[in-house]
Structure 1
Amino acid sequence: MTWDLLLTGGRPGDVAVRDGLIAAVGPELPRDARQVIDVPGRLVTPGLIDLHTHVGPGYWGIDPDPIAWCSGVTTWVDAGSAGAFTLSGLRRVAAESAVRVPALLNISALGLAGRTGENRDLANCDTALAIDTIQANRDLIRGIKVRIDIESVGANGVEPLRRGIAAAETCGVPVMVHIGAPPPALDEVLDLLRPGDIVTHCASGIAAPLGPAVHAASARGVLLDLGHGSGGFAFDVLEAQLDAGLRPYTISTDLHARSVHGPVFDLPTTMAKLLAVGLPLSDVVAAVTEHPARALGLPGGTLTVGAPADLAIFDVRAEHFPVVDAHRQVRTSPTRLVNEATYVAGRLLTPRLPAPPAPWIPLTEAQRSALADRERRIRHLLSTPLVDVDGLAEQFPRPNPRSS
């Protein structure tokens, strides 16, 4: 019996792949495979699942593939970039991407075409339309996203959330709610949520969910999601929550056009921020694999036989380095996670270069300088001959001269 791919020597053991699925896991599997890759001592995880990203068209969206191949993230949940009016654009992104792109439908039919304000006109928060859209797109949509803060809802308070929950109840899916600057009051938002619903930006320095309402929500089964983003994560809030017995069930980046160049960068960097506050590596890995898969009923998230062969290989380096939150607070991670390979359905993701930032994205001079320097270094790397004469072979040898 021949496997398509065999990864050997990693932790927790060898992993064999056939027909895009995990075929066997264990120590010292037979090396009966078309391709055998030795990964001695490396951490082999299920492909990472980022529960909150923005890869659809609009103000916030980014191309996932140039980040996926070097970060280990094989499933990018698009959290509300598209509403009923704009879902076709996200479907095209999902079809063209090398990674998996399930979606949370924005309760606003506009989606996130602009920076904010999508819930200010309640005519766009059409419950019946959201229900019809989910029912017609079950292959793509896994839940509903609602942003609740003063900029998004204006004078409408929690009414967009009520409508999102009504649609979700009809369709049997969870709601993910973004929390931020009030009004409406945070307690009013949290009190509406049901078991299995998700609070993203759960350690927000702006919303600061530290009171009885967040404890009550967690106790009844509401899931806390980190949702880092450009303004949704503060170390001091997370540390206070951990001291109070609360911890994020899922770790996500809220990776988008304004966070990808910092302060988020990618999911392994975000994972290191949780290591910096004392969470064990096993818990951090669970929060980006099995937990998000369970939260949305997604395939993957485990290394069990029959699961999709979405795999990530990491060099786990005992290396202290500084990490920063959305408010420039710094902590030190004891570990650096360096992705060495990423597979989707057993296929190796190949290198891709990211597009330059859109003209509306605010960047510091340091970020602009770093991007320009990276471009120069990439150009130099790719314009330099790959090897010298000693690294070449004569592919078409000349015939031996005839002897005279």
Structure 2
Amino acid sequence: MSADLLLSGGDVVDVGGGHVGRFDIAVRGGRIAAVAPDLPHEAAQEVIDVTGKLVTPGLVDMHTHVHPGATYWGIDPDPIAWYSGVTTWVDAGSAGAYTLDSLRAAARSFRVRTAALLNISSVGLTAADGECRELSNCDIDLATATVAANRDLVVGVKVRMDGKTVGANGLEPLRRALAVASAGGVPVMVHIGVEPPTVDEVLGLLRPGDIVTHCASGLASGMLDGSGLAPAVREAHASGVLFDIGHGSGGFAFDVLEAQLAAGVVPHTISSDLHARCLYGPVFDLPTTMTKLLAVGMTIEQVVAAATVRPAEALGLPDGAGTLAVGAPADLAVFSVEEGDFAVADSHRQRRTAHRRLVNDATYVAGRPLPPRLPEGPRPWIPLTAAQRAALRERDRRVRELLRTPLVDVDGLAEQYPRT
């Protein structure tokens, strides 16, 4: 069997494709050609030894904001993707009906794969909050038509349900989002935050297969009661509502997650909610978020499944996304699993210790490694601590030093045009 690329000897965790163990992975024409032990090396154009490395499907981050230049929150995914293993970025509501075309145009320039959740508000996330305070922005007919006309890009509907966003409109934006989702046969992802409304009011409206993001929020009122996890949270999880981490700037608290885990309420998916305010911390990237789930006792198989096949299935992503099934796009991530004592923090600076962490070594989209990209600096409206600003300056200095130093010394050169 011929192959363009062969990754040899890796410890594969591909729950969706049924490959967990020591396997070789063959790629041909940008797709997975074979996954099996001891595939023949001689027929491959390029063989890469990944012995001792963790190899997974390309990660699927189902809650991100990748509408740069058009929203308060947006970032360019490519400069993060190449060192994080995330090959599919789902934009969670940056664009509404008025701005979806501009998100589509931006996505054409990305090397990574992109899907979108349409904001129920036509204006999307142009500002930091408030998109649903004017109820006329939540136009059911317009949003329904936009979903129907853009099913190659739109895989669900997003609504933020917190007091700053909905104002005096209470649950009505969520009801409208559910109406649009029902018409389009797609799920709703609902952000929970500071009341009103309360968590039990929101969860009571959700259907099996709908997604509650920031599921371990320390800001959302009603997650915990005096005895632990609130009954409404248990009931929603048991009914088939999908719980998504959605870390973000303020959506993840270790104590809430630990109460959920103690009650058997395990998050279905792990997402970063990566955006312009949390890229520099506390989130940084999806592997760091996955490491935080390792710190509270989830296994590597669990966290990889929750960041690959499970989000792909929850959103109905096409073509074998989140798996290494034969014929699926050859989107892969290679990680080192480092052992030690690694301090990690949630959105509220609560600390835990992870004894293993995931560090990305390579990221492939359609069988090709993503090239290095330097990120742009933070936008002027992004709040940063003095320590974050100093770290960014030091990073710039180190990159400059690296690039201004000649790549090799004299002994590393050859005479390209010999004198005759």
Query: Structures share a fold, TM > 0.5?
Result: yes
1:249 aligns with one of 257, 268, 275: 268
SS of residue matched to 2:204: helix
1:18 lines up with 2:18 in the alignment: no
Query: Structure 1: where are the runs of 5+ without partners?
Result: 400-404
Q: 1: distance between equivalents of 2:364 and 2:292?
A: 24
TM-superposed deviation, 1:38:
1.4
SS of residue matched to 1:10: strand
1:90 aligns with one of 92, 103, 112: 103
Counterpart residue number, 2:173: 160
Q: Which amino acid aligns with 1:130?
A: A
Counterpart residue number, 1:331: 352
SS of residue matched to 1:363: coil
Q: Which amino acid aligns with 1:366?
A: A
Q: 2: distance between equivalents of 1:336 and 1:169?
A: 39
SS of residue matched to 1:142: strand
Q: 1: distance between equivalents of 2:360 and 2:180?
A: 39
Equivalent residue runs for 1:64-143 within 5 Å: 64-143=77-156
Q: 1: distance between equivalents of 2:102 and 2:388?
A: 29
Q: Which amino acid aligns with 1:16?
A: A
TM superposition score normalised by structure 2: 0.94
Counterpart residue number, 1:402: none
2:52 aligns with one of 25, 41, 51: 41
SS of residue matched to 2:329: coil
Q: 2: distance between equivalents of 1:203 and 1:332?
A: 18
Q: Which amino acid aligns with 1:68?
A: A
Q: 1: distance between equivalents of 2:351 and 2:165?
A: 29
Q: Which amino acid aligns with 1:8?
A: S
Equivalent residue runs for 1:98-247 within 5 Å: 98-207=111-220, 209=223, 210-247=229-266
SS of residue matched to 2:72: coil
Q: 1: distance between equivalents of 2:170 and 2:395?
A: 44
Query: Structure 2: where are the runs of 5+ without partners?
Result: 13-22, 224-228
Counterpart residue number, 1:55: 66
TM-superposed deviation, 1:319:
2.2
1:291 aligns with one of 307, 310, 319: 310
Q: 1: distance between equivalents of 2:364 and 2:171?
A: 41
Q: Which amino acid aligns with 1:253?
A: S
Q: 2: distance between equivalents of 1:205 and 1:146?
A: 19
TM superposition score normalised by structure 1: 0.98
Cα deviation, 1:247-283, whole Å, max 9, x if unaligned, reads 1100000000000000000011100100000111110
| Identity rate, percent | 68
Q: 1: distance between equivalents of 2:362 and 2:418?
A: 36
Q: 2: distance between equivalents of 1:396 and 1:325?
A: 57
- In the comparison of the two structures, how many residue pairs are matched? 399
Cα deviation, 1:11-40, whole Å, max 9, x if unaligned, reads 131101111110000111011112211111
TM-superposed deviation, 1:2:
1.8
1:264 lines up with 2:277 in the alignment: no
Cα deviation, 1:70-124, whole Å, max 9, x if unaligned, reads 0000001000000000101110121110001100000000000000000000100
Counterpart residue number, 2:406: 385
Counterpart residue number, 2:19: none
Equivalent residue runs for 1:350-361 within 5 Å: 350-361=371-382
Cα deviation, 1:225-265, whole Å, max 9, x if unaligned, reads 00000000000110111111111100000000000000000
Contact 1:320 1:336 in 2 (8 A): no
- RMSD of aligned alpha carbons: 0.8
Q: Which amino acid aligns with 1:103?
A: A
1:362 lines up with 2:366 in the alignment: no
TM-superposed deviation, 1:184:
1.0
Q: Which amino acid aligns with 2:29?
A: D
SS of residue matched to 1:285: helix
